[in-house]
Amino acid sequence: DTEVTQTPKHLVMGMTNKKSLKCEQHMGHRAMYWYKQKAKKPPELMFVYSYEKLSINESVPSRFSPECPNSSLLNLHLHALQPEDSALYLCASSQGSFLEPKGYHGYTFGSGTRLTVV
Amino acid sequence: KQEVTQIPAALSVPEGENLVLNCSFTDSAIYNLQWFRQDPGKGLTSLLLIQSSQREQTSGRLNASLDKSSGRSTLYIAASQPGDSATYLCAVPGSARQLTFGSGTQLTVLP
């Protein structure tokens, strides 16, 4: 399995809703990431999890709450979002180290969740 | 802080042409550089990964080169096809594994 699977593919939510985005990989990668991408812009890093621990939070508002229940799963919990939070949310994974004995293979991205906040 | 720049921002070519996309980075102390393709509204597909010790990587009609000393990478696409139309992004990882992306080159290959 060489994929990162994200669900749902599309999500429409109201500003008072609570929802969660899910991400799963079975490549044995020990680093997982959430990125946010607005139209015609490159992805922007939100969070990095390394060995199931949050290692980077890029000053993301608290209405976004990440969770890494185990080495294969990454969630992003959403609450009280604003319309400007509408974007494509991408999950990615990579090996835990650039110096893996069997070679480093870079980042693998999921197909994303298109989020619309109304 | 690493900065990554891609030139040109957009490129339109007739089918069959060979083309070069450029990527430059300010901090040459990189571990590797990765090229991605993104179709509209979709996720990123990895095309090529070049380790810092390598000069180039090839996959089919794609060839990526890396010159760390000058802070440059190029993606060469041979015999372009309409199906190559997409946005191409280069990215370099930082020490905490966070990726810094260029702003991308939007490629259109005309039939």
B103 lies within 8 A of chain A by CB: yes
Look at A42 and B102 and tell me if their CB atoms are within 8 Å: yes
Q: What is the mean pLDDT of each run of 10 residues along chain B (111 residues)?
A: 94 97 94 95 95 93 96 98 98 87 97 95
Number of H helices and E strands in chain A, helices first, is: 0, 11
Interface check for A45 against chain B (CB to CB < 8 A): the answer is: yes
- Give pLDDT tens digits for A18-27: 999 999 999 9
Percentage of chain A modeled with pLDDT above 90: 82
pLDDT digits (tens, 9 = 90+) for A45-99: 999 999 999 998 889 999 999 999 999 999 999 999 999 999 999 999 998 776 6
What is the pLDDT at residue A101? 60
A114 pLDDT tier (thresholds 50, 70, 90): very high
pLDDT at B96: 76
Q: Which two tokens stand for residue B31?
A: 């571990």
pLDDT for the residue B74 = 98
Provide the pLDDT confidence category of residue A7 given band limits of 50, 70 and 90: very high
CA end-to-end distance (rounded Å), chain A? 36
Q: What is the pLDDT of residue A14?
A: 94
Q: In this complex, do A55 and B96 lie within 8 Å of one another by their Cβ atoms?
A: yes
Q: CB-based contact (8 Å) between B59 and chain A?
A: no
- For residue A105, the model assigns a pLDDT of 83
SS3 (DSSP) at B90: strand
Asked if residue A102 has pLDDT above 70, the reply is no
- Residue whose C-alpha is closest to residue A86's, from A23, A12, A20, A30: A12
Determine contact: B36 vs chain A, CB below 8 A.
yes
Q: Which of B30, B98, B100, B107 has the most A C-beta neighbours within 10 Å, making it the best mutation to test the interface with A?
A: B98
Structure tokens at B17: 């042409």
Amino acid B34: pLDDT:
96
| Contact residues on chain A for B46, CB-CB shorter than 8 A | 106-109
Q: Is the pLDDT of residue A103 over 80?
A: no
The minimal CB distance from A109 to the residues B32, B43, B96 is found for: B43
Asked if A51 has any chain B CB less than 8 Å from its own CB, the reply is: no
